[in-house]
Chains A and B, each alone.
Chain A
Amino acid sequence: MSKENAKKKKSFFYLLSVKLFGSGKRKLSILEEEQVQSPLRSTIKQFKENKLSMAGLITFLLIFAFVFIGPYFFKQDLAFSETSQINVSPGLNLMDFPKELDGNVKQISVGPIFSVGLSNDGKVYVWGKPKLSKTMDMSKVPMGMGKVVKVAAGYDHVLALDQYGDVWAWGSNRLGQGAIPEEVEKLKNIKDIAAGYQCSLVLTEDGYVYFFGNEATNDFKVKNDYQGQIAKIVTSSDAVLGLTFDGRAVYLGKQKNAYANVPEGMGKVVDIAATASTMAAVNDEGKVFVWGNVSSYGENKVPETDSRIVSIQGGRYHYTALTENGETVAWGANFYKQAQVPDKISDTSIKALFTGFYQNYAVNNDGKILTWGLKGYPLGTDDLGRDILNRLVNGGKMSMTIGAVSVIISTIVGVIIGCLSGFFGGKVDMILQRIVEIISGLPFLPFAMILSALIGNNMTSNQKIFLIMVILGLLQWPTLSRLVRAQVLAEREKEFVTAARSIGVKRMKIVFRHILPNVISVVIVTATLDFATCMLTEATLSYLGFGVPAPQPTWGNMLFGSNNSIVIQNYWWRWVFASIILSICVICINLTGDGLRDAIDPKSRER
């Protein structure tokens, strides 16, 4: 019964409301609308009807959410730079190995952004991003090689050893790392090859090591004490470690450095590996020793394992190891999840492990290849090897914060000056208007630049960010103050001001409590449009190098240094993405501001 009643009631009220206000479905005429809607509601309605502005607002909110929620997922490390990952083009294909290799893999050697694979039938495959520059293409495998038995990927070159004992090299040869010396060409008993940073190493069956490439950056002593005893060699980014036939890990350089401090009492070493700056050895008891320049990434924090570690591989800043019953462990730097073995891999029995730089390939007992680590960069990397997506998110947060704070400063100053100047008139107005004239007469960009250059001369990065906010805020307010002044001039003659005055309200209270709410719409619209201007100005300043200093990213200074044709053409991802998001953001804010103005003051639409 009550249900029926409710229905009846509803229909009664419905009828009543239709009688009073119309059905709501029918399009109301302007007169009726004004009767039933508060100005705020009609403004919102007007705004909602403007599809372009709504689209602008929604897009802006999405970008806003993206840059303010994003930093929780994309942690920013301002000191980060990685020379091996500079100018990597966008894409997530660093570990997309060719299908032919699956189940048929003999060896994989990993370079910074490319990997070289060798199948059981002696064929070489290259994947990832082999095109390091216009002229250097790692996938251009030389013709005429016999069946290849070993491959080694260096920093920017690749070595291959074929069945006839010939060494082949391709890729960069700037420092002679690809020029095979005659003495090596003559060798017929080559066992192993290794390629490092600008250097190549060849190891013979009888334990001799040959070195070619850049001797300045690689510490290698040709006539070392261990020639003739070496069974295996690995390279860090600047040194060489050897394993002798009798199971000793030996440093093959001439300098006395951290690498040369090989731990004593390791027992019989069965395997060695090296990261960029550390070296590691594993003995026959499965114990791992790490020495060298151990970084804060924790290359020496070897996890506990159930069974003995039998082999070890080194990445850029992390190690991976294989135990005797096929378990995989990894430790060290984990910023690309390269030291976090997925469950899928740690649960299965692994036959062989290939690690290098940030990529890991595990081969299970069926010969299938499983991967983890750095897949690539969705938006590429910049000239210091930093992920552009990460910088875009964190830089966006900074850009928006700077824009918002400057707008808040300029709005507060503008409103106060406009209100005072408009309400009090006379001398106050005269003086304030002269100040407004001076500030608005300042050529904005040049003045902001000279301020930033002179005041910010010896400031820290954070102080300079604040300086930019204040400069932008303090140069932006005259337009707003003029608009507010004009509005206040009109409002102060109205009856409610007279009424307030007659009951003895203080003048300051009249200005800020009674008049200000009436001019707030102008303030909101101007603040919105100013927000866009501030972001643009900040971007321009930073782009010119007078804004937020590196390494702190903003959308503007991400474009700094991209105005030469090489960057514009070859490394397009370094400027395209930041440009796009900055443009979209500013366009959206402007659309929203325009829409707001039209909604608040429908007359302006006719203009």
Chain B
Amino acid sequence: MLKYILKRLLYFVILIFVMSFLTFMLYNMIPGDPARVEVQSIKNKVPAEVYQQMYQQARQRLGLDDPLLVRYGRWMGNILKGDFGMSSVYKQPVRELIVAPMKNTIFINIFAILISLGIAIPIGIRCAVKQNSLFDNTVQVFTIVGYSLPTFIIALVCIFLFAVKLGWFPVSGMTTPNFQGTAVEAFFDKMYHLALPLFIMTIGSLGGIIRYVRAAMIDALHMDYVKTARAKGLKEKVVIYSHAWRNALLPVITIIIGWFLTIFSGSLVIERMFNLHGMGKFYIDALSNQDYNIAVTVQMFYFVIASLGNIIIDLSYGLVDPRVRVNK
């Protein structure tokens, strides 16, 4: 088991390096010449020769003429040290800028995941237990619709219905401007603003989770120990929740663990539509403003989170289920 973990971690490190190299290539594609930007301001103040000399010096100092691998090494070194460069729009280190959107995204996503799991798991179980019933078939159709609809269409419809027509929720934003009140009031104000985005995120992810829970539960219900439990004369409730569900939980829990990592990444579409200052909007804004230091950092971050998620899913299989404990 330990060997497997180490192997996976080694893969992870290699993966990160390959990926960071790809990202660096992307980073290299960014149009513009940092050295020229640096000396641009003095272009008209000094003679052309001096300017050219200073430009060359800047190029040398920034190491723009070094071989690709050397530049990559320097770039990666900076990133590992936690130096992600400066944002060209905000004129602040990316590292400081990234904190606020990260907090918001985590705050939003924890609620979204808890709510959708709370709804999806009971429905999934019920579907599996009453397989091919009217309820099951209806839910199946809804889940297909659910994962077929793009988030932004669900969001448009919800905004139209609940924010514009009925006026229950604000159309966008995270807080009331110039809000003043106690911490509790501020929390409720935030939740009031986040209610619609959370609702949409829940609807959007419901389809996938229900299908997954249902499939896991159906598998579990077909097992022999469930038949044994029934044969013993146990109550159906006990059979379902104590025998079957516990076993169905195993695959579900691994997925949940993986999902918990996505709380950092944020939803691109929802955050943009509702003007929520989270990671997704941060990233889109950076791309639209051509603030590439931010974009590349967030991109790297996304990738690390995704690969970490994959590893944790793989490892947690072994942790939660002794039968599939990896011992290669």
Contact = CB atoms under 8 A, between A and B. Distances in A.
Given A540-B150, A590-B144, A442 B306 contact: yes
A579 B156 contact: yes
B307 A569 contact: no
B30 interface: yes
Contacts of A546: 287
B6 interface: no
A562 B156 contact: yes
A590 B147 contact: yes
Contact of B163 (A52, A559, A565, A607): A565
A540 B153 CA distance: 10
Contact of A572 (B147, B160, B302): B160
Contact of A579 (B157, B265, B295): B157
A441 interface: yes
Contacts, number: 126
Interface string B158-199: 011001110000011000000000000000000000000000
B268 A544 contact: yes
A543 B152 contact: yes
Contact of A586 (B30, B148, B163, B269): B148
A575 B156 contact: yes
A532 B148 contact: yes
Contacts of A568: 156, 159-160, 164
B303 interface: yes
A572 B160 CA distance: 9
A539 interface: yes
Contact of A587 (B148, B215, B288): B148
A445 interface: yes
B145 interface: yes
A539 B150 CA distance: 8
Interface string B130-148: 0000000000010011011
A18 B37 CA distance: 87
Given A446-B283, A546-B287, A441 B164 contact: no
Interface stretch (A297-305, A349-357, A389-397, A451-459): A451-459
A416 to B, nearest CB: 21
A536 B287 CA distance: 21
A443 B290 CA distance: 20
A532 B207 CA distance: 15
A446 B298 contact: yes
Interface in A456-470: 457-458
A174 to B, nearest CB: 25
Interface in A412-468: 434, 437-438, 441-443, 445-447, 449-451, 453-455, 457-458
B56 to A, nearest CB: 27
B80 interface: no
B15 interface: yes
Contacts of A438: 15, 18-19
A251 B298 CA distance: 61
A338 B156 CA distance: 36
A445 B268 contact: yes
A11 interface: no
Interface string B296-327: 10110011011100100000000000000000
Contacts of B14: 434
B153 A582 contact: yes
A364 B32 CA distance: 68
A446 B299 contact: yes
A563 interface: yes
Interface extent on A, as a size class? 35 or more
A441 B265 contact: no
Contacts of A562: 156
B42 interface: no
Given A540-B150, A583-B148, A590-B144, A563 B273 contact: yes
Nearest to A580: B153
Nearest to B307: A441
Q: Which of A52, A562, A563 has the most CB of B within 10 A?
A: A563
A559 B156 contact: yes
B250 interface: no
A491 B96 CA distance: 54
A583 B284 contact: no
Given A544-B284, A562-B156, A590-B148, A446 B164 contact: no
Contacts of B296: 450
A441 B11 CA distance: 12
B67 interface: no
B26 A454 contact: yes
A455 B288 contact: no
A303 B295 CA distance: 60
Given A441-B15, A441-B307, A568-B156, A607 B150 contact: no
Given A454-B30, A455-B29, A590-B144, A443 B265 contact: yes
B31 interface: yes
Nearest to A450: B299
B219 interface: yes
B306 A540 contact: no
A465 to B, nearest CB: 19
Given A450-B287, A563-B152, A583-B150, 17 more contacts: A434-B11, A437-B11, A443-B306, A451-B26, A453-B287, A453-B295, A457-B31, A532-B148, A539-B150, A540-B151, A543-B150, A544-B272, A565-B163, A582-B150, A583-B148, A586-B148, A607-B219
Interface of A: 52, 434, 437-438, 441-443, 445-447, 449-451, 453-455, 457-458, 532, 536, 539-540, 543-546, 559, 562-565, 568-569, 572, 575, 579, 582-583, 586-587, 589-591, 594, 606-607
12 contacts: A443-B302, A449-B287, A450-B299, A453-B287, A453-B295, A540-B268, A563-B155, A565-B172, A568-B159, A568-B160, A583-B149, A591-B144
